[in-house]
A and B are shown apart, each in its own frame.
Chain A
Amino acid sequence: MTAHPRFATVLLAALPVMLIAGCASGDRLSSAVQGSAPPTTAATATQTFTCPADEVESDGSTPKSYEPDGTLPAFDELPDGSTMAEIRDRGALRVGVSADTLLFGARNPLSGEIEGFDIDMLKEVAKAIFGVGDDVAYDLLDFVVIPYSQRIPKLRSGEVDIVAHTMTINCVRWQQIAFSSEYYTSGQRVLVEVTSPYASIDELEDAGATVCVPEGSTNQEKLADYPGIKAVAVPDISDCLVALQAGEVQAITGDDTVLAGLGAQDPSTAVVGPSFTAEPYGLGMPAERVDLVKFVNALLEEMRTDGRWQSIYDRWLLGTLGPQTPPSARYAREEP
């Protein structure tokens, strides 16, 4: 009889051991790790700019720019403390450009260099500031390739000194940055496939067609005048050609010069219909750099008269857009 309690006691003592032996330690597979970029400065609130009534040109023409202070100064006579002297002393002109707008700013995949009408304009600015020849000017440009939507932000943040990026001069943009005098006149048109039944922006609107447009461009603003069109905004106009070739949109709208560059990459497309806007192109600069704007305007004056503008135009655009003469400048803008 005395053996029974002892036996039961041993069993009861062993019970927790047995149970513990069957328990798990709970090691499991962890979820995936996720890193993060270092924090950046807080984003500023979005600011809306409107065009003051006294800034609107009564005849609808291009807003005026700052008149040059006489002739273009030599590179070694740039005023001390001026923006140009600062750039010269820095040894590089920081420029915001497109790298995929054929004929205006596009990277040559074989040479690696960005080339086009806009790039040659910037090379002229570099030659004037640094006093160098054509062969060296390119190396003095610090390229920052930016999409359309970043043209104004990059200037306002001071990351670039000047933007040459098929940029239309208008009153609202003048509230945020400064422009040179007009250096090229373009117009907004449409690009469609050669088999397309649509031959103008009006026909596209009547059909309720889907049209691609670069985000943040004046082309996008103008497209709002055609409410029948379904607009598809993309970061860059090259993305529009991808969308057109994929059949995702029926047309692309943009400046005729840019559309010509797209058409040169795809022979099954064509620029059609009349221009429905006048797009005066200007070189963008920070609003407070009035001295740089005047300097560039003086340079453009020289280029209009000495044939350099014509030479650059003929090199890049004559073949696709036919003969054109330099646009005239409009000055007498009051300094802020």
Chain B
Amino acid sequence: MKWRVPGFALAVVAVLLFPRFAGTYPVTLLQEILIFGIFAMSLDLLMGFAGMVSFGHSAFFGVGGYVAALALTRWGADGVNALLLPAAAAALAALVIGYFSIRVSGVYFIMLTLAFSQMFYAVTFQLAWLGAEDGIVGVPRPRILGVDLGRSGAFHLYLVTLAVAATLVLWRVVRSPFGHVLRGIHENEARMQAVGYAVDRYKLLAFVVAGTIAGVAGALYAQLVGSITPEAFLWRTSGEALLMVIIGGTGTLGGAMLGAAAFILLQSLVSSYTERWMLLLGVTFIVLVLFAPGGVVGALRGRIGIRA
């Protein structure tokens, strides 16, 4: 794919320069897209590459968000720790949840991951220490490596840098020997076992990597909106990420970012005209799944393939 590298570079430049030409609201939307794009890409690592459909990915987004919020409001953390602590906490949560969930597969895996994430919702909703249903508010943007992220330009650069880093890391991972093992597991788990792979351990590591990156996305989200609530853990957050991945095209990574863009734009543009934006989203989703099962990226590839 010759257009991949120049296309990616072009997109990065466009995203970087966007604030020069657009107002505050579109820039915030773009930043939300970047964050949910990171989140959806991390889910795509599980869904599209390892073949593990998780309906509880919000657990790690939420853990990341809460730990970042705590670190910035109460623990006096700097920017680096406001990323590393949420990432580590999300990794730990993924290790525990994954340890139990990967023993089952298919629908049971979906239900188990969903149950774990809902448990986080229930707990944060109750705990006064975490602000109960109001969550944690007034999360400041930290200083990172001497740069004050309170300045909007700096924060934008920070988000773009992390989105690029997450993309490059995931791109590398899915092409690594480990990534190929995940594809093998997706294709034929039983044969992978028969030739000698301890399949469960590979799945657990994939789950932890995906959870860690989701945790970073959650931390960024808390810094973007300045608060985090139990809603972050809700099944809806997981469901939205699933939709983003499917809309964009599973197993493509880039598609997850595009899917996040499509979802968030649709949500914000249509919801300003009508309350029934979910209806339109539903119809769009059905049409896409029926006529472009490979998602946006799949459809694009088909188009390019025909022309070539």
Q: Verify that A and B bind, or say they do not.
A: no
Taking beta carbons and an 8 Å cutoff, which residues of A are in contact with B?
Answer: none
